[in-house]
Structure 1
Amino acid sequence: MTYAMIGTWRMAYEGLCKGMDLLKTNGKSSDAVEEAIKEVENYPFFKSVGYGGLPNANGLVEMDSAFMNGDTFEVGAVMGISDIKNPISVAKRLSHEHFNSVMVGTGATQYASQNGFERKNMLTDRAKKIWEKRKREIAEKNLSPYDGHDTVGMVSLDQNGSVSVGTSTSGLFMKKPGRTGDSALVGDGFYADSEIGGAAATGLGEDIMKGCLCYEIVRLMGTGLNPQEACDQAVYPFVEKLKKRYGKAGEFSLVALNKEGQWGVATNVEFTFAVGTETKEPKIYIAYPEDGNKTKINPITQEWLDAYEKRIKAPID
């Protein structure tokens, strides 16, 4: 059987390459998702996930993560976990529990500590400087505190036909303590069914969770639509419906993968993602909404990549 993997944002690429290496050697989709997301969580310059993630209003890095096994529908998730190195590994462990499989706040942190997961102060000096700068800007310029909410989401298909999905994020920058978004909510930020495929979301969780979009994309793929058709049909009409009935819509970006290894993307903003298949090496692409109902996708340019690398490592004033 074939294998493939797709992940949200430029930051997914290096981890996805590691995941693809596992899949190529007949590794499990669940392990590929975990290893790929751990790579993102461990990199200090990705400011919306794991170590180096931006903190809440009180300066604490609170993280959300989830894992789903498409063979069994096992789901594990943590919300508001802190001082734990790899939340995705905790979420994956929790997915094996029939009871207590979703844990929040101090309970999630305590569970991780008691079960041997590595503790770590996830607030880097760089992230603290960004937080302090934003605090000054809020006070001096009356700016909105909320800036940035990118989740890494990975969907993986292995050679045995198993589909898994995982997410990880430090959530909305400067969020109120205890806030959570869509990333750890099954059906909203992620969903997987190995008989069909899987999907993952990134963007403003408060709005994404209004549509149960990951479940809807998988459902549509189950009716015979390919992943691109399912993404377009689920995302763009809902964005317009939300604007009409709620008055506005935040950023939405979703990725999907089916059991044949086909993939799709829909977004209402400029959105980068990484994808690899059995026949095509992992690459980074950039997507845009086009005509309000479909997605335009292009390969990323070296110029864009160079500017991105420079931007994420730029000194903090």
Structure 2
Amino acid sequence: MNDKWGIIATWRMAYEGVGQAVQSLKNKGSAGDGVELAVRLVEDFPFYKSVGYGGLPNEQCEVELDAAFMDGNTLAIGAVGGLMDYKNPVSIARKLSQERYNNFLVGAGAEKYAHHNGFERTNMLTTRAKKLWEKRVKAVQEKGLSPYDGHDTVGMIGLDLFGNMAAATSTSGLFMKKKGRIGDSPLSGSGFYVDSDIGGATATGLGEDIMKGCLSYEVVQLMSKGIHPQKAADQALFQLTEKLQRKYSKAGAMSVVCMNSEGEWGVATNVEFSFVVANHDLEPTIYIANPRNKMTEVELASEEWLNNYQKRIHQPV
């Protein structure tokens, strides 16, 4: 056992979950248990409209959920895609990671697996989410607005006192997506990757573009060469952004957070992005990141920003 531990997560919505995970990690809890607990808390909170209960629905007003879990010691992976009517897809994904085969299940197959393994079945569409869907349908019809919005994955990388690392992700995906659409979040190497010998990374943003560069894997590979997590994150993200602009003529919003096996961390983004981090030297802290000249600037979230965030997520529909 050593004296280093840590956890880093995408978006302000992860703050309360990270706080719970920190208590576990400080008390010799496992990285896997920590990230699963923290993600479950995000999944269960109905005002976070891009994850779990309260997540925004697809074009048919159905909530389809994607999630993944990875064990950094064994590289075991479990994932679900297009899951409907089951709570806490991250826990279903973790259960799948313990299987030798059939680690990634989608749609009816994922739901059958969840049922047979005793996971709770429930309607994941909230009244609030349905109202937001109805407003967007009307706006698309009357104003010609794009239907797509709200693709904020919660992703976490954890390191425990025994040197074990784990990753977890969860999302309801692109708002008003086509039925059956899967983004980067449950895809190993794109939405997440972790190796306890090196470190881990997890991404959020437009999955269709993140998948074009296997962003999380690229960050971990750079860290494997001894590159500091911050430099690795910046290098991987801005190289991918430039490549997409050159080859595909445009690049969507993308952000990535990472942590190495020493608990050092990094973040990169091509848009304004909030994230949460804690380790042996730092209590759970919310930061705001912004791109500046192919690098990422990080600052503490101000009281004004935090207050505006609370007002925004709770405002009436």
TM range (shorter): over 0.9
Tell me which residue corresponds to 1:200. Answer: 202
Tell me, yes or no, if structure 1 residue 160 matches structure 2 residue 159.
Answer: no
Q: Which runs of 5+ in 2 are unaligned?
A: none
Tell me which residue corresponds to 1:5. Answer: 7
Tell me, yes or no, if structure 1 residue 307 matches structure 2 residue 300.
Answer: no
**CA–CA distance in 1 between the matches of 2:281 and 2:208?**
37
Q: Deviations over 1:136-193 (max 9, x none)?
A: 1111111111011000000000000011000000000000000010000000000000
Alignment of 1:220-299 (within 5 A): 220-291=222-293, 293-299=294-300
Alignment of 1:178-197 (within 5 A): 178-197=180-199
Tell me which residue corresponds to 2:128. Answer: 126
**CA–CA distance in 1 between the matches of 2:53 and 2:182?**
18
1:305 partner amino acid = L
1:176 partner amino acid = K
**Deviation for aligned residue 1:110:** 1.3
Q: TM-score, normalised by structure 1?
A: 0.99
Tell me which residue corresponds to 2:213. Answer: 211
**Deviation for aligned residue 1:113:** 1.2
2:35 partner amino acid = V
Q: Which moved more, 1:139-148 or 1:48-57?
A: 139-148
> Matched residue of 1:191: which SS?
strand
> Matched residue of 1:186: which SS?
coil
How many residues are aligned here? 315
**CA–CA distance in 2 between the matches of 1:285 and 1:105?**
35
**CA–CA distance in 2 between the matches of 1:280 and 1:215?**
26
**CA–CA distance in 2 between the matches of 1:242 and 1:182?**
16
**CA–CA distance in 2 between the matches of 1:250 and 1:110?**
34
Tell me, yes or no, if structure 1 residue 68 matches structure 2 residue 92.
Answer: no
**CA–CA distance in 2 between the matches of 1:65 and 1:3?**
24
**Deviation for aligned residue 1:285:** 0.2
**CA–CA distance in 1 between the matches of 2:48 and 2:262?**
31
1:303 partner amino acid = E
2:303 partner amino acid = Q
**Deviation for aligned residue 1:238:** 1.3
1:299 partner amino acid = L
Tell me, yes or no, if structure 1 residue 113 matches structure 2 residue 115.
Answer: yes
Tell me which residue corresponds to 2:29. Answer: 27
**CA–CA distance in 2 between the matches of 1:21 and 1:120?**
29
Q: Deviations over 1:214-235 (max 9, x none)?
A: 0110010000101001001111
**Deviation for aligned residue 1:237:** 1.4
Tell me which residue corresponds to 2:100. Answer: 98
Q: Which runs of 5+ in 1 are unaligned?
A: none
**CA–CA distance in 2 between the matches of 1:214 and 1:190?**
5
Alignment of 1:163-174 (within 5 A): 163-174=165-176
Q: Which portions of structure 1, spanning 4 or more consecutive aligned residues, are displaced by more than 4 angstroms?
A: none
Q: Deviations over 1:13-39 (max 9, x none)?
A: 000111111100000000001000000
> Matched residue of 1:307: which SS?
helix
> Matched residue of 2:283: which SS?
coil
Tell me which residue corresponds to 2:179. Answer: 177
Q: Deviations over 1:197-218 (max 9, x none)?
A: 0000000000000001101100
**CA–CA distance in 1 between the matches of 2:146 and 2:112?**
33
**Deviation for aligned residue 1:114:** 1.4
**Deviation for aligned residue 1:109:** 1.0
